[in-house]
Structure formats: C-alpha cells, structure tokens
Amino acid sequence: MLRIKNLKCGYGRIMAIQGVSLSVRQGELISIIGANGSGKSTLLLAICGLLKTWDGEILFKDNDLKGMSPQSIVRQGISMVPEGRQIFAPLSVMDNLKMGGYTMYRKGLKKQVEQDLETIMDMFPILRERQNQLAGTLSGGEQQMLAIGRALMARPSLLVLDEPSMGLAPKIVEMIFATIQGLRQEGVTILLVEQNARAALKIADRGYVLETGKMVLQGSAEELLVDDDVKRAYLGKDYGNFYDGRD
Amino acid sequence: MQQMKNLTVEEKNQLKLERLQSTLNRAYKSVPFHRNRFIEKCMLPENIVSLSDIERLPFMNRSHLGLHYPYGLFAVPLRDIVRIHTAPGTGTNPSISGYTKTDLMIWQKLVARSLEAAGVTSMDILQINLPPGLANWGRDYKDGAENMGASVIPNSPLSLAKTLMVLRDYKTTTLVTTLAFAEQLMEHMFENERNPNEFNLKRIVLVGEPVGVEQIKNLEEHLHVDVWLNYGLSEIPGPAIAFECLHHCGMHINDDHILPEIIDPVTREVVPPGQTGELVLTTLSARAFPLIRFRTGDMARFTYNPCECGSSLITMDWLAERADTMMIISGIKISREQVIIYLKDALEASHPRCKLEKIRHGGTEILSISLVIDDSLFSDEIKNLEKLMVSTSERLAELTGVPVKITLTEKKD
Ligand SMILES: Nc1ncnc2c1ncn2[C@@H]1O[C@H](COP(=O)(O)OP(=O)(O)OP(=O)(O)O)[C@@H](O)[C@H]1O
Ligand SMILES: [Mg+2]
Ligand SMILES: [Zn+2]
C-alpha cells in the first residue's frame, strides 16, 4: 500500500532522514519507534506532503506522491493525526470533526459526511456529549480522540498517527491504544509513531527502529520485543554495565 | 510458516531492500571491520539504494572470521549474545559466531520452515544423528523441530547398534543426518537382511554436502523413505539456509533472511542469470553476526522455473564442485591449508609432504593423511615417531572436528 525507498529529507542543511526505506501493506499496523529527534515526525511529514522537498520514492497504492499537495494526498487516502494533536481550539468539537470531512464534503458526499459523524460519535461517546463545546476546553485525552476522529472523517485507507499517547495519563493511553487496535480490526491500515515503544509494538504487526535518520532494525513485533537493543533503548530496561564488547 | 507466499515481487524486493539497508546500517555503526571497508570504498550505507547495489561492496571470506577472533565481527555487545558457536576456521584461529535471542528465534523459524517443506508435522518423531563437528546444527534442528511441536530425539553420540535400537523402538519417522550415516544405515540393514518396514522411518533430511541423484535414489529405494536435502554453512549462520520442498525442484533459499548471489570465483563478478558460480551470502536479519557478501566456496546456479509449491523464494541447484580447495568430510568443511600449517608446526618440518583424502570407515568419514617420511622425521626413534603421530592426529581431530588418521609412507625416489 505504502512503499518508501531511500527517502532523504530535512530542514535546510539538517538531513533529518538519511535514506530510509519502509513499507506498509494493506491491513497492517506498523509501528515506528525511535528516540527524540531521530526523525520520526519528519518522516511522517514527508509522507503527508507537508515538507516542500524530499529525495527518493514514496508510492501510495502505486501512485508517486512526489510533488503532491497535502490536500491531494488526503484525497489519495492518507490522513494524519499530527504530533501534539493540533485541533482547532476556538472551534467546536463538531466543527473540528466536520473539517476532517471537508474533502468528502467537497466531493458532494454530504450524506456520507453526516453518516461518518454519527459513526465517529458512536465510537467516541464523549465527543457526542461535548459536540458543542469549544475544542480547546477538552482534556488531553479527549483532544486526542477528537484528533483521531477528525482524521477518520476523511475515510482514510491509511491512518498515520504521530505519538498519540504523548502527555496522556496511563489509563487514557490504554484507551487510545485500544481505539487504535479497534480501528485496525475494522480494516484501517495504520502507521503509528510512538515513544511508548512497548505499547506500540504490542499492538503492531511489524515495527521499525529509526536512529538518527536511519533505519537500524525492523522485524515482527514479536522479534523486536525480545531484542536487547530495543529493550535497552526504548523499553526502559536498564541492564547496568556488563562486560561490553570486543577486544 | 509463511514463505512470503502472499507477497508480490515488488513487496518482496522492498522487504529485502529494507532489511539489507538496516543490516548495513547496523554493521557500519557497530563493527569497525565493516565500517572501514565502507570507508575504503568511499561509501556510506545510504549509497546502497537497490538490491543490486550490493555488488559495490567487498566480499568476506572465511579468513576474515579467523582474523577477527574472537568477537571482532560481532555487531552487538556480548551481553546481548545468548549463544556462541565455534567452527574450525581456516587459519590458526577458529571462527566464532554469536546469536541474540532474536537471532535464535529467526533460526528456529527457518529450520521449521525447511522441515515443514519436507512434510514434517507436529505428529512426527524426529531423530538427529550428526557427527560432533556438526553439533551446532544438531542444536538448531532440535530447537526448530521442537518449535513446531515435533517430538525430538536430540543428537547424542551413540553406537550404531544403539542408534538403530532408538530408531526402531522409538518409532522415529524423520532422521536428520549426513550422507555417510544414511548409507551406513542402508548397508547395515542390507547385510543383516533387515526389512526396512520394521521401521517407521518416512524421511531422511540430509545435511552437509551436495548429494547426487543416484545416491538419493539408492537410499530411497533401499530404506523406503523420501530424502530431502538441506543446505547450510557449518561455521555460520546455520543449517537451513536452503531446502527442498515436496516438489524437489531444486533448493529454495530463505532469501527473505539471507540474500544470495552467484559470482564467477575468478573474476568475482556476478554471473548472468542461470549460470554456475560461487554462492555468496548476505544476512538480512542477523543481529549478532552480520555477513556481508560472504564467499561460501560452494558452487551453485539459480533456477528460475516457478515451483509448484508456490513459494516465491529463489531456487538454486547445489553443485558438487567447489570454488575453493576445502574438503567436505561428514558435512564439515576442512581447510587443507589449515591442516598443513598445523602439520608443519607439530612435526617441525618446513615442507611436510602429504596427501589428504576423505575415507569412509563404517558410517564415519575420516580425514586420512598419508605423510611421506623424510629425513628429518626419520632421524627420530620409531617409538617417538609413533607417539608424535598419535598426538598429532588427536590434536588435528580436535581442530577440525572430524576423526583423523595419519599413515606414514616411504619416500619414493
Ligand atoms: N522545523 C524544523 N527545523 C529545523 N530542524 C528541525 C525541525 N523539526 C525537526 N528538526 C530536526 O530534525 C531532526 C528530527 O526531528 P523530528 O521531529 O523528526 O524527530 P522525532 O523523532 O519526531 O522526535 P520526537 O520524538 O521528539 O518527536 C531533529 O534533529 C530536529 O532537531
Ligand atoms: Mg516527533
Ligand atoms: Zn517448491
């Protein structure tokens, strides 16, 4: 579904992504894990057309995304829930959701937009409850649900999530992950970037490990969860200083 | 286990490219040997943008393994290593390889894949009979077969009689062994007029060396079994790199984890599709011990006719000739140079004249060395000389992992 080869991009002279290849197949849930500043968000920005230029190849359903505007990429079927959620605080919950359905609306699929609104408010009852409230007054967890709901309004075939658990209480994180898993079971293909590596790998089919703009490891979630390197760096286990290496 | 059956060619190649690139990134980051080789070529891992770009990288061979003894080629800290394997090597040092937990997990899956392709299921009783030099493989087969739920009788040194007793009484259905032992079994049954139907044996998985069609047919007819060939490397990284499926259409290479190339051993160029050459392997998922363009010395050729089993794995014919001068004894590769260097040392002879041969004694293959007695040796007392031969053959057996017999021959002028 999504196939990236040798992607290079960055900000001016900073090469944040240095030749990354990655793929997501129909129906998969893929997690990308990596430390702060390793380039996870940059990679997602490139996929969604939010970086002006990049080198390499990004194919989505066999279409080359090079040069496409963010809007046309949404029309291709990729929706992103950006880092820090970025909902429109001064707008109501309802209006935020409707904005997510904008491309559908423009296609004249008004009926479907109405229908999707219902589905999403069924999925997140709290959003129905607060539909007329200003989005800025929602709690962090509620805002995250709104951000996911808004992305789903575009009926994406690929949902891209950038650290949905960031800054949320453990209970809420659990709920968000359950939601993601639920979406996946409904057939949404998902690309998930997370700091919370263990939780992200537990629900994933496969994972990739990004390190300073380079992919250093990938494999089934099962393989990555037992990998000592991954454990040490991302799963918060400290092994102390054993005899460390050669010579 | 899925052999990438439901992947399109593009998806499969994408997966291989991704794995290759992260293997190179890890090797560059963690192994000075690999990093220096990139630097010598003025290259970075990111310059490898397609599978065929691998041709731009230098080769590895067995001598590199000994040179970086013991841990110089490991790509993870020792604390991440859960198993260490030793193989004879080609020079003065043995070659050592290591495995992380994930590495072992993947190997188990690959071994299980090769056994499943031979029709082994969780209902089977699998007996492993391998010489001491292939004990590493014995463990891998045990783990892989256990992983798929088969009942495993692990490798342990038993007499032929005991092995046969186990084979019969325990109702073994699958035997993993070398050609030498399988043929010994066949001869023994023939000599003792035993009916193979007394046994429950359904199949033999042969490891260690290429086996000719005639030899396989012979075994199948006399033992009433199906024979399957598996290809592996005895030093690293394991026994089930390639395997035969139910259709016996050549050997499927696990190229989702190990990338094969075939090169001309002289020009070192990749040969055109379908041509014969030396098999070169690159690991795509190994964490602890990445191999990048490792020259196996084995000769092979890719075959391109799609197999009925539907596997999208690359298929090869494994050929009898070799690209190097190594001997295969009971599936174990022996370096002639290493043996001669050792003899020089042990006998304090600058140019020992000797002939190395493989001979078979029962089900055991032996490295036979006929040594020409020259003046320097002859000056010794006969008793001392005998002692020296005994200790030398013992030490050589330990070094190579196969039994060694030294015979002295007169100098012929
Ligand atoms: N707008 C920007 N301008 C310049 N450099 C940037 C910009 N955004 C990110 N970077 C740099 O690019 C690199 C990758 O950043 P990125 O945000 O993609 O990392 P990340 O993996 O998402 O990190 P985090 O886990 O903190 O979100 C970092 O070195 C960062 O400093
Ligand atoms: Mg980020
Ligand atoms: Zn086949």
Quick: pLDDT tens for B56-103: 999 999 999 989 999 999 999 999 999 998 888 787 788 889 999 999
Residues in CB range of B248: below 8 A, 6 or more apart: none
Q: Distance from the CA of A136 to the center of ligand 2, in angstroms?
A: 22
Quick: pLDDT tens for A203-220: 999 999 999 999 999 999
pTM: 0.91
User: Could you say which DSSP state residue B408 is in?
Assistant: E
User: Can you name the residues that pair with A210 across neighbouring β-strands?
Assistant: A34, A215
For residue A245, is pLDDT > 50? no
Phi, psi (deg, nearest 5) at residue A55: -105, 150
List every span in chain A annotated with CATH 3.40.50.300. Answer: 1-77+159-180+191-238
Q: Is B408 exposed, middle or buried (0-12, 13-18, 19+ CB in 10 A)?
A: middle
What pLDDT is stored for residue B192 in this prediction?
A: 83
Which two tokens mark B250? 């050549």
What pLDDT is stored for residue A195 in this prediction?
A: 85
User: Can you name the residues that pair with A57 across neighbouring β-strands?
Assistant: A5
On average, the pLDDT of chain A sits at 90
Element (H, E) at B96: strand B95-100
Distance CA(B87)–CA(B60), nearest Å, equals 16
According to CATH, the topology of domain A1-77+159-180+191-238 is Rossmann fold (3.40.50)
| Closest chain A CA to residue B19 | A218
A214 in B contact zone (CB under 8 Å): yes
Whether residues A229 and B80 touch (CB distance < 8 A) is answered with: yes
Distance CA(A142)–CA(A169), nearest Å, equals 12
Residue type for B122, please? S
Range with the poorest average pLDDT among B2-16, B173-187, B210-224, B232-246: B2-16
Range with the poorest average pLDDT among A122-136, A226-240, B173-187, B398-412: A226-240
Range with the poorest average pLDDT among A102-111, B38-47, B170-179, B237-246: A102-111
pLDDT band (50, 70, 90) for residue B283: very high
B59-324 against B332-409: fold identical:
no
User: Could you say which DSSP state residue A92 is in?
Assistant: B
What pLDDT is stored for residue A247 in this prediction?
A: 37
Q: Which residues does chain A have within 8 Å of residue B10's beta carbon, measured at their own beta carbons? A: 3
Whether residues A23 and B102 touch (CB distance < 8 A) is answered with: no
According to CATH, the topology of domain B59-324 is Rossmann fold (3.40.50)
**The ligand 1 atom nearest the CA atom of A210:** 21
Per CATH, the architecture of B332-409 is what?
2-Layer Sandwich (3.30)
What pLDDT is stored for residue B4 in this prediction?
A: 58
Does the beta carbon of A39 lie inside 6 Å of ligand 1?
yes
Q: What is the ipTM of this complex?
A: 0.91
Question: What residues have their beta carbon closer than 5 A to ion ligand 3?
Answer: B 245, 247, 307, 309, 311
Whether residues B14 and A3 touch (CB distance < 8 A) is answered with: yes
Does the beta carbon of A100 lie inside 6 Å of ligand 1?
no
Q: Once rounded to an integer, what is the mean pLDDT over residues B200-218?
A: 94
What pLDDT is stored for residue B349 in this prediction?
A: 77
> Domain extents for chain B?
59-324, 332-409
Q: Is A2 helix (H, G, I), strand (E, B) or coil?
A: strand
Quick: pLDDT tens for A159-209: 999 999 998 888 889 999 999 999 999 999 999 999 888 999 999 999 999
Q: Distance from the CA of B308 to the center of ligand 3, in angstroms?
A: 6
